[in-house]
């Protein structure tokens, strides 16, 4: 592998981000899957906190995520009515006789397998070990949060609990991490969204830390020009991988801001509070832009991405439902590639372990990919510790719609996008109705004007004109609204048609 092996990474005793807290409905228990194991999340009214447990009732193993809440706020299984408090203790068995009730409720077998759960930086985290040793271990392991969101400039701290997006992707966790630590694919796979094919260039990545159980860091520096003083304008970038889930890019754009502020018009706009954000500086005299990405292993061939893109100069002014549309398009840009690629890799003889033989990576831009594959082989056991099975991928999905289905992968679980979809759909229906019905109404008004007094006929003609104008607006708006509505459901991403 080219790297010395070290202490093994313990997949089962780590904190995993599983959901965006603001996206969860406290009225409903929620199912999440991690490492092929199912868990239920619910809001405990007594402790005013989120709780998590394995998603099975101890009675007959029915899913508690299909449950409800009692008047006391207990999580109740809707198969036979057993209910449980926030600590997982059984508080009611409708079928048990009174004489046996106390012993049955006190029996440990009646309790849920609760796992540690906490809320940090707007994300709900679980520690998927329900044993006593696991609960103790959870105290000595910290979630892979981002310290800058707690201790950075005020503009950055203010965005700590905002800007999060959750999306399902149909490829393996290792493929997802490999893709996230690879900056050189951006101008190609995300052309026209986050990059430009014509501006692709070599990225001479360098190691910024040693490879160890806790991950690695790489860095790069790009020179864009020079200031009037002759000083170079540089963008410093670091990419950090912290297992099991965190990939973080940090860009220092202060040099770009200084170059822009040399222009009078930019200085004027900045003085009016209208300048470009890249020209602003935070309280530390920097302009930091972060890509914070969490890759969560759901099951073989299926992962989840939690993402946020904060700036040290303050949060974005774009509404989240609009911002999410762009991020969905970004993920669409390489989903087909990655779903196919990982299966081709596994067709090679021992293709994952012998990745250097499967891949040909002569460029320094592939350094982070190489380091990650070395980390996985030397520290991570070659793959996540799935609950069961060998981690074999499901068959190749040839239906592009299944891979790129935005409704199932994101919209249905995002309150911002789901609301936006319903609003655009309602507006489209109203616009269509206006475009279809108002011309007939106008025609009826015109036909009946002959029955009106002469002085009323002018008003009838004017009314008909207004009705036709509104119908025309509806006719133009309906297809535009339909196209936005469709962007929350499915858009086929064909690279050959992106100019």
Judge if 266 and 392 occupy the same domain: yes
CA distance linking residue 387 with residue 127, whole number of Å? 14
CA distance linking residue 129 with residue 114, whole number of Å? 8
For residue 75, what are the contacts with CB-CB under 8 A and spacing of at least 6?
29, 40, 42, 51, 64, 67, 69, 83, 84, 85
Q: Are 370 and 19 in contact (CB under 8 A)?
A: no
CA distance linking residue 112 with residue 67, whole number of Å? 14
Asked whether residue 202 is assigned to any structural domain, the reply reads: yes
Judge if 103 and 181 occupy the same domain: no
Phi and psi, residue 409, nearest 5°: -75, -25
Closest of 49, 52, 50, 20 to residue 39, by C-alpha = 52
Q: Per-residue pLDDT tens for 161-199?
A: 778 999 999 999 999 999 999 999 999 999 999 889 998
> What integer pLDDT is reported at residue 5 of this predicted model?
61
Judge if 98 and 162 occupy the same domain: no
For residue 312, what are the contacts with CB-CB under 8 A and spacing of at least 6?
148, 152, 153, 155, 156, 282, 284, 286, 287, 288, 289
Asked whether residue 168 is assigned to any structural domain, the reply reads: yes
> What integer pLDDT is reported at residue 165 of this predicted model?
93
- CATH number, domain of 365, equals 3.90.380.10
Is 50 exceeded by the pLDDT of residue 1?
Answer: no
Asked whether residue 491 is assigned to any structural domain, the reply reads: yes
Residue 354: helix, strand or coil by DSSP? coil
> What integer pLDDT is reported at residue 464 of this predicted model?
87
Asked whether residue 78 is assigned to any structural domain, the reply reads: yes
Domain end call among 401, 433, 452:
401
Judge if 262 and 364 occupy the same domain: yes
Domain end call among 137, 166, 186:
137
Q: Per-residue pLDDT tens for 420-432?
A: 999 999 999 999 9
Q: HEC states along 247-284?
A: EEEEEECHHHHHHHHCCHHHHHHHHCCCCCHHHCCCCC
Judge if 175 and 303 occupy the same domain: yes
CA distance linking residue 243 with residue 15, whole number of Å? 10
Judge if 235 and 369 occupy the same domain: yes
Q: Are 75 and 39 in contact (CB under 8 A)?
A: no
> What integer pLDDT is reported at residue 199 of this predicted model?
87
Percent helix, strand and coil across the chain, each to the nearest 5:
40, 20, 40
Asked whether residue 4 is assigned to any structural domain, the reply reads: no
User: Which element (helix H / strand E) includes 419?
Assistant: helix 415-448
Q: Per-residue pLDDT tens for 125-143?
A: 999 999 999 999 999 999 9
Phi and psi, residue 241, nearest 5°: -115, 120
Asked whether residue 464 is assigned to any structural domain, the reply reads: yes
User: For the residues of 39-92, what is the DSSP string, one character each?
Assistant: EEEEEETTTTEEEEEESS-TTT---GGG-EE-TT--EE-TTT--EE-TT--EEE
What range does the domain containing 288 cover?
148-401
User: What is the residue-averaged pLDDT of the chain?
Assistant: 90
> What integer pLDDT is reported at residue 279 of this predicted model?
66
Judge if 161 and 118 occupy the same domain: no
Tokens standing for residue 145:
């949060």
Is 70 exceeded by the pLDDT of residue 4?
Answer: no
Judge if 125 and 153 occupy the same domain: no
Is 60 exceeded by the pLDDT of residue 373?
Answer: yes
> What integer pLDDT is reported at residue 225 of this predicted model?
64
- Model-level pTM? 0.91
Res. 346 pLDDT band, cuts 50 70 90: very high
Asked whether residue 412 is assigned to any structural domain, the reply reads: no
Judge if 260 and 354 occupy the same domain: yes
Closest of 275, 258, 246 to residue 148, by C-alpha = 246
Q: Which residue has the tokens 């490829």?
A: 171
Domain end call among 137, 162, 191:
137
Q: Are 342 and 172 in contact (CB under 8 A)?
A: yes
Tokens standing for residue 465:
């004109």
Residue 221: helix, strand or coil by DSSP? strand
Q: How far is CA 392 from the centre of its chain?
A: 24
> What integer pLDDT is reported at residue 401 of this predicted model?
95
What total number of domains does the chain contain? 3
Asked whether residue 415 is assigned to any structural domain, the reply reads: no
> What integer pLDDT is reported at residue 444 of this predicted model?
84
Q: Per-residue pLDDT tens for 40-75?
A: 999 999 999 999 999 999 999 999 999 999 999 999
Cis peptide upstream of residue 52 (ω within 30 degrees of 0): no
User: For the residues of 282-293, what is the DSSP string, one character each?
Assistant: -TTS--EEEEEE
**What percent of the chain is predicted at pLDDT more than 90?**
73
Judge if 267 and 342 occupy the same domain: yes
């Amino acid at each position: 592998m080219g790297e010395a092996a070290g202490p093994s990474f313990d997949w089962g005793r780590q904190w995993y981000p599983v959901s965006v807290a603001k996206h969860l409905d406290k009225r409903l228990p929620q199912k999440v899957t991690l490492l092929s194991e199912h868990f239920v999340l619910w809001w405990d009214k007594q402790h005013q906190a989120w709780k998590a447990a394995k998603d099975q009732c101890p009675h007959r193993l029915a899913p508690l995520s299909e449950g409800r809440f009692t008047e006391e706020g207990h999580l109740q299984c809707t198969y036979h009515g057993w209910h449980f408090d926030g600590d997982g203790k059984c508080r009611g068995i409708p079928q048990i006789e009174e004489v046996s009730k106390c012993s049955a409720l006190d029996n440990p077998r009646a309790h849920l397998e609760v796992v540690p759960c906490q809320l940090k930086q707007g994300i709900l985290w679980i520690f998927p070990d329900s044993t006593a040793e696991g609960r103790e271990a959870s105290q000595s392991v910290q979630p892979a949060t981002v310290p800058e969101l707690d201790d950075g400039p005020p503009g950055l701290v203010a965005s700590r609990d905002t800007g999060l997006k959750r999306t399902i992707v149909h490829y393996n966790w290792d493929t997802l991490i490999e893709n996230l630590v690879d900056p050189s694919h951006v101008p190609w796979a995300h052309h026209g969204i986050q990059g430009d094919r014509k501006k692709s260039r070599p990225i001479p990545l360098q190691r910024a830390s040693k490879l160890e159980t806790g991950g690695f860091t790489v860095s790069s520096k790009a020179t864009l020009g020079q200031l009037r003083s002759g000083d170079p304008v540089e963008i410093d970038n670091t990419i950090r991988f912290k297992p099991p889930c965190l990939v973080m890019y940090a860009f220092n754009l202060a040099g770009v801001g200084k170059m822009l502020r040399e222009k009078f018009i930019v200085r004027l706009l900045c003085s009016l509070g209208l300048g470009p954000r890249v020209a602003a500086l935070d309280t530390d005299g920097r302009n930091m832009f972060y890509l914070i990405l969490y890759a969560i292993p759901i099951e073989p061939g299926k992962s989840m991405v939690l993402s946020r893109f904060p700036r040290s100069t303050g949060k974005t002014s774009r509404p989240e439902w609009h911002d999410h549309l762009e991020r969905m398009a970004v993920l669409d840009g390489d989903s087909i590639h990655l779903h196919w690629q990982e299966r081709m890799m596994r067709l090679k003889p021992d293709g994952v372990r012998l990745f250097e033989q499967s891949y040909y990576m002569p460029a320094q831009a592939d350094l982070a990919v190489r380091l990650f594959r070395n980390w996985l082989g030397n520290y991570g056991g070659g793959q996540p510790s799935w609950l069961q099975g060998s981690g074999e991928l499901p068959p190749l999905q040839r239906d592009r719609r299944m891979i790129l289905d935005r409704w199932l992968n994101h919209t249905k679980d995002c309150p911002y996008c789901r609301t936006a979809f319903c609003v655009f759909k309602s507006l489209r229906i109203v616009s269509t109705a206006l475009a279809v019905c108002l011309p007939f109404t106008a025609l009826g008004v015109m036909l009946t004007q002959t029955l009106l007094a002469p002085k009323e006929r002018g008003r009838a003609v004017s009314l008909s004109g207004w009705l036709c104008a509104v119908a025309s607006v509806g006719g133009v708006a309906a297809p535009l609204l339909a196209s936005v509505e469709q962007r929350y459901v499915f858009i086929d991403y064909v690279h050959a048609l992106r100019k």
